[in-house]
Structure formats: structure tokens, C-alpha cells
Structure 1
Amino acid sequence: MDISGNSAVPPTSSARCWFRKSLITRRAIFLCFIWVLFMIFLSVFKLPEASENGDPLSLGILNLHKRFQDYHFGVIGEIMLSMLNEDLPFTLFLPSEAAFERLLKINVNGTSVYNKENNTDVILSRVLGFSVIPIKLRSEDVPLTREISFDSLAGFELNIMRLPEKVLSVDNVRSERVDMRRGEIIVHVMDGVIMDAEFAQSMKDDYEV
């Protein structure tokens, strides 16, 4: 009974039918909208065709994921990365170009400014030994404000800590960018060069000659 005292009139079958049709129509519009968005996604990112090794959607999402995580690291960075197997799990704490020039006097073209023999590849391979650990280590894997230690490829112990705002500190060298990728390699760009005291001194002596 309604507030006027009259008995409530039950909805007619035509009203119920109209409500069901309206609900179906809204669902259909929503599904069409999702399908249009999906087709735009396919056209923009050009997901691959089906292959024998996997279904096209999963392969496309994987390629899209890699596309956003692969970066160009400059001449020096690319030289160092070329020394590693991209199919193996490594983490590289890559000095920035500014850090290379500031601390090792190697310019953005990969040329040593003061080293008389200009053996840049030898220097970079030494730096690589100090700067790479043989595991994949993302910033989120590092505890906040608590140090963890790993041995580098050269057997040099690295003390790693995560600071607020997703910044890593490796032997007191802070990161500029984190969690970039090249194949299976995780790359963190550092505002400094990770090296032991002996190598640092040898480089300093070379500059002063």
C-alpha cells in the first residue's frame, strides 16, 4: 500500500520486459566500449601475430612490457652492457655519463681524456667487475634503510640500501634512475662510480702523470 492508502500496483510484464531490455542494452554498450579500447591497444602497440611458441596476446603484452623497460644508456653504458650476456640475470649499477666524466675522465663518446694509452675498454671492464652482481635486484627487493650485501663479479662487497623516494645507495653512491632493463639485466644508473680504493688511486695517479 502506498502513502495515499491505495494498494501498490505491481509492475506490469511490459515494464519488466522493458527494464530487462534496457539492462541488456547497457551491458552491450559497455562490452562494445571495452572491445573498441582493446582494438585501439592492438593498433597502437602492434601486438605480434600468433606463433607456434605462445599465444599472441601474452607475447604482445610481454613485448610491450620490454619496450617500456628497455632504454638506451649512452655510448659508455652500451659498451658496458655489451660485455654482459643479456639472457643471464645480472644487476648493473651503471655510472651516469656525468659520473664517468667527473671521476674517470671518460667523456660521453667513450674516450678517456687523460689516460695516455686511451685504454677505455680496460677501464670499463674493471668498473664492470665492481658494478655488477650476478642476480636480478630491483629497488623493491632492497629493504628500506637497512643494508644488504652482495659480492660483485670482481669479488668486491657491495653494501646496498634503499632510501626513501625509491633511491638506492650502493657504498654511499646514490642512484639517479632505478629499475631499468636490458633483456634479463636490471640496470640502476648511479651518480658515481663503484670501485675499490686501489683502483681509484691508480686512476688518480694516471690523471696526475
Structure 2
Amino acid sequence: MKRSFILKNPIAFVFMILSLCCILIVLITTLRLPELTVGDKAVASNQISVIRKVPKDHKLGKFGEMMIKMLPKDLAFTVFIPSEKAFERELSLRVNESLTTEKLDDTYAVISRILGFSAVPRTMYSTSVDYGNEISYDAVSGFTLNISKDKDGMLIVNRVRSEMVDVKKKDVLVHIMDGVIMDAAFEQSVKPDDSED
């Protein structure tokens, strides 16, 4: 009796077909979703990624800590911090130099500018970037960051490769870079003058 009612009533028949289609779509979508990472282990079999354990006492260096302190508290940020060697190599900033008040002000100005180029107002773990794909985000200064992943799981941001990824410092996620992320105009302003002897 019920079957004949559904077959004779076109509204009931259409509703039954739509319900079955929706259930089928939900099942297919659920089965095809990429698997998530749980803890420190990658669950997805098709994802090429190396998860690295980072010591909790890992130090970012003096300049990296200065950058973190400049960020607002209790907000999620991802920061691509240059390594101490990169600060010295590309910006001529050395940790062991005695800093006068004037030099300290200049250092803060440079570091705050670098922070604007390298901080993204969201949390972005290295596992959220797929190998072979490139994603783009705007840094807090509006500078566009093009982010991809290398075969070994290291991030590459605007052609600068990371040395260490996914270092957590309170609410801030840090990726330590083997270079400084900056725009061309700022790079020219901090470049050493080659005409001096």
C-alpha cells in the first residue's frame, strides 16, 4: 500500500528520489575527502610530507624574539622569521654587537618592517600546504606571499626556503627561513653600498 502511494503521488516520488540523491552525494563526498593529520603523524597516504619534531626550548634568536614580541597578544599569526645567519647575511644585523640607543632604534625599525612582510594573520602549518601546489596570502603589510612545499616538507616562500617549520610560540606559529622575505624597494634600501671601499 505504501509503495503504491509513493508511486502514485508525484510529490512523494520526487522527494524520495531527492533524498536518495542527497544521501548518495554525502556518502561519496565523505569517502573522497582528503584525510587529516592527527597529532604528529600523517594519516593521508597520498600526502608527501615529513613531520619534524621541534624541541620545545628551541630559540628563535634575539631578532626572532623581538619580532614575536611586536605581535599583538592572543591572536593567531604565522610568521616566517629569518634565521640569525640570514639576518646577518642579508641585513648586516649581528646579535653580539653592542647596540647604542640610535642603533637599537634602527634595528627595531628594520625588524618591524621585516615583520610586516613576513607575518600572516592566521595559523598555517606546513601540513596545510600540498606538495606541488602554490598558495598565496597577504602579509600584514599587504605584501603577497607565494607559499609552496618542497619534496622534503620544507616551505618555500617567495623563493626563500625554510630551515625549520611549525615551531609554536604561544599563539604564534613560526617557520624559520634561510633568508629574509621583503619587497624589492626595501631590499634596495638595506642593500650595502658597493661603491664604498
Q: Same fold (TM over 0.5)?
A: yes
The residue number in structure 2 matching 1:129 is 116
Query: Quick one: which of 78, 96, 99 aligns to 2:65?
Result: 78
- Structure of greater Rg: 1
Partner residue in 1 for 2:144: 157
Whole-angstrom distance in 1 between the partners of 2:71 and 2:96: 20
Q: For residue 96 of structure 1, what is the aligned residue in structure 2?
A: 83
Distance in structure 1 (CA, Å) of the matches to 2:138 and 2:79:
12
Partner of 2:127: 140
Alignment deviations for residues 30-78 of structure 1 (CA, whole Å, 9 cap, x no partner): xxxxxxxxxxxxxxxxxxxxxxxxxxxxxxxxxxxxx954632111111
> 1:207 and 1:136, CA in 2 relative to 1: closer, same or farther beyond 3 A?
farther
TM-score by length of 2: 0.65
In structure 1, what is the equivalent of residue 92 of structure 2?
105
* Aligned residue number for residue 187 of structure 2: 200
CA contact (8 A) 1:86 1:185 kept: no
Whichever structure has more helix as a proportion of its residues is 1
TM-score by structure 1 length? 0.62
Change (3 A) 1:150 1:75: same
| Residues matched between the structures, number | 141
CA contact (8 A) 1:89 1:134 kept: yes
1:175 aligned residue (157, 162, 166)? 162
Deviation at 1:108, TM superposition (A): 2.3
The whole-number CA distance in structure 1 between the counterparts of 2:97 and 2:119 is 19
Per-residue CA deviation, residues 131-160 of structure 1 (Å, 9 max, x unaligned), is: 000010000001212110000000000000
Q: Distance in 2 between matches of 1:136 and 1:196?
A: 22
Q: What CA distance in whole angstroms lies between the structure 1 residues aligned with 2:124 and 2:166?
A: 8
Identity of aligned residues (%): 46
- Please point out which of 147, 160, 177 is paired with 1:190: 177
Query: 1:111 and 1:144 mapped to 2: Cα distance?
Result: 43
CA distance in 2, matches of 1:149, 1:111: 38
Whether the 8 Å contact between 1:111 and 1:120 is mirrored in structure 2 is no
RMSD across aligned C-alpha pairs, in angstroms?
2.5
Checking the alignment, whether the CA contact within 8 Å between 1:127 and 1:193 is kept in structure 2 is yes
Corresponding residue SS for 1:119? helix
Aligned to 2:42: none
Equivalent AA in structure 1 for residue 66 of structure 2: I
Q: Give, in angstroms, the shift of residue 204 of structure 1.
A: 1.4
